[in-house]
Amino acid sequence: MTIGIVGAGQLGRMLALAGYPLGFDFLFLDRSAATPAGQLAPILCGDMASPKLLARLARRSAVVTFDWENASVAGLKPIARLTRVFPPIEALAAAQDRLREKRLFEALGIPTTRFAAVASRKQLLAAIAQVGLPGVLKTRHGGYDGKGQFVIRGPRDIDRAWDALGALPCLYENLVPFDYEVSAIGVRGSDGATAFYPLNRNLHRGGILRLTRAPFGSTPLTRRANAALRRILDHFGYVGVLTIEFFVHRGRLIANEIAPRVHNSGHWTIEGAVTSQFENHIRAITGLPLGSTQARGHSAMINLIGTLPPRADLLARPGVHLHDYRKDPRPDRKLGHITLIADSAARRDSGARALLRRIDRETWVSFR
Amino acid sequence: MTIGIVGAGQLGRMLALAGYPLGFDFLFLDRSAATPAGQLAPILCGDMASPKLLARLARRSAVVTFDWENASVAGLKPIARLTRVFPPIEALAAAQDRLREKRLFEALGIPTTRFAAVASRKQLLAAIAQVGLPGVLKTRHGGYDGKGQFVIRGPRDIDRAWDALGALPCLYENLVPFDYEVSAIGVRGSDGATAFYPLNRNLHRGGILRLTRAPFGSTPLTRRANAALRRILDHFGYVGVLTIEFFVHRGRLIANEIAPRVHNSGHWTIEGAVTSQFENHIRAITGLPLGSTQARGHSAMINLIGTLPPRADLLARPGVHLHDYRKDPRPDRKLGHITLIADSAARRDSGARALLRRIDRETWVSFR
Q: What is the CATH number of the domain that holds A129?
A: 3.30.1490.20
In a domain, A200, yes or no: yes
Residue A245 has a pLDDT of 98
- Does B136 share its domain with B215? no
Which one, of B284, B16, B233, B256, lies nearest residue B138 by Cα?
A: B256
Closest CA to A349 of A253, A211, A188: A211
Length of chain B: 368
Preferred mutation among B14, B15, B22 to probe A, highest tally of A CBs within 10 A: B22
B20 near A CB under 8 A: yes
- Domain's final residue, options A126, A150, A174: A174
CB B272 within 8 A of CB B172: no
A144 Cα to chain B: minimum distance (Å): 25
Residue-wise pLDDT tens digits, A264-321: 999 999 999 999 999 999 999 999 999 999 999 999 999 999 999 999 999 999 999 9
Instruction: With respect to residue B22, please indicate whether it lies within any of the assigned structural domains.
Output: yes
Asked if the model's pLDDT at residue B187 lies above 70, the reply is yes
Claim to verify: residue A189 and residue A43 sit in the same structural domain: no
Residue % of chain B over a pLDDT of 90: 95
For B269-323, how does the pLDDT look when each residue is reduced to its tens digit (9 = 90+)? 999 999 999 999 999 999 999 999 999 999 999 999 999 999 999 999 999 999 9
Dump pLDDT digits (tens) for A10-25. 999 999 999 999 999 9
- Contact B341/A274, CB-based, under 8 Å? yes
**pLDDT of B146:** 63
Taking CA–CA distances from A314, the nearest residue in chain B reads B289
CA distance B231 to chain A (A): 25
CB A362 within 8 A of CB A205: yes
How many CA atoms does the CB half-sphere of B360 hold within 13 Å?
Answer: 30
Cβ contact, residue pair B311, A39, below 8 Å: no
**Section B171-180 average pLDDT:** 94
ipTM, two decimals: 0.95
Interchain pair A296, B292: CB under 8 A: no
Same domain? For A334 and A247 the reply is yes
CB contact under 8 A, A289 and B315: yes
Which of A3, A13, A20 would best serve as a mutation to test chain B binding (most B beta carbons within 10 A)? A20
Q: Range with the lowest mean pLDDT among A142-156, B45-59, B109-123?
A: A142-156
Tens of pLDDT, residue by residue over B23-35, are 999 999 999 999 9
Domain boundary among B69, B85, B101: B85
Inside any domain, residue A52: yes
B7-32 burial, b if ≥16 CB within 10 A, otherwise e?
bbbbbbbbbbbbbbbbbbbbbbbbee
CA distance B133 to B135: 5
What is the average per-residue pLDDT within A2-15? Answer: 98
**CATH number of the CATH domain containing B65:** 3.40.50.20
Which contiguous run of DSSP H or E holds residue B258?
Answer: strand B252-259
Same-domain status, A236 and A340:
yes
pLDDT of residue A146: 63
| Claim to verify: residue A318 and residue A237 sit in the same structural domain | yes
pLDDT tens readout for residues A28-46: 999 999 999 999 999 999 9
The verdict on whether omega for the bond into residue B318 sits within 30 degrees of 0, i.e. cis, is no
Q: Which domain holds residue B68?
A: 2-85
A107, part of any domain: no
Question: Do residue A151 and residue A201 come from a single domain?
Answer: no
Residue B300's CATH number: 3.30.470.20
Chain B residues whose beta carbon lies within 8 Å of the beta carbon of residue A319: 274, 292
Q: How many domains does chain B have?
A: 3
Q: Is A128 among the domain residues? A: yes
Interface of B with A in 307-346 (CB under 8 A): 308, 311-312, 315-316, 318-319, 321-324, 326, 336, 341
Rounded to the nearest 10 degrees, the angle between the axes of helix B277-285 and helix B10-19 is 70
The nearest CA of chain A is from the CA of B188 a distance in Å of 15
How far the first Cα of chain B sits from its last, in Å, is 48
Same domain flag for B134 and B197: no
Q: What does the pLDDT read at residue B144?
A: 60
pLDDT, average across residues A111-131: 96
- pLDDT bracket for residue A148 (50, 70, 90): confident
Same structural domain, B257 and B356: yes
Q: Within this chain, do residues A71 and A134 fall inside the same structural domain, yes or no?
A: no
Residues B36/B301/B306/B163 CA torsion (nearest 10 deg): 100
Confidence band for A329, pLDDT divided at 50, 70 and 90? very high
Segment A179-198 mean pLDDT: 97
Longest C-alpha distance within chain B, in Å? 58
> What is the CB neighbour count within 10 angstroms for residue B288?
23
Question: Looking at the domain assignment, is residue B297 inside a domain?
Answer: yes
Q: Is residue A235 part of a domain?
A: yes
- Written as one string, the DSSP assignment of A266-284 is GTTHHHHBSS-HHHHHHHH
Contact (CB<8Å) A291/B316: no
Q: Which of A132-141, A300-309, B39-48, B147-156 has the lowest mean pLDDT?
A: B147-156
Per-residue model confidence (pLDDT) at position B367: 85
Interface of B with A in 265-284 (CB under 8 A): 274, 283
Do B234 and B169 sit in the same domain of this protein?
Answer: no
Minimal-distance CA residue of chain A relative to B336: A21
Of B22, B40, B297, the CB nearest to A40: B40
Q: Are residues B213 and B343 in the same domain?
A: yes
pLDDT tens readout for residues A157-179: 999 999 999 889 999 999 999 99
Cβ separation of A319 and B287 shorter than 8 Å? no
Site from B311, B324, B326 to mutate, A interface, most A CB atoms within 10 angstroms:
B311
Final residue of a structural domain among B159, B174, B189: B174
Residue B67 maps to a domain: yes
pTM score of the predicted model: 0.96
| Same-domain status, B257 and B318 | yes
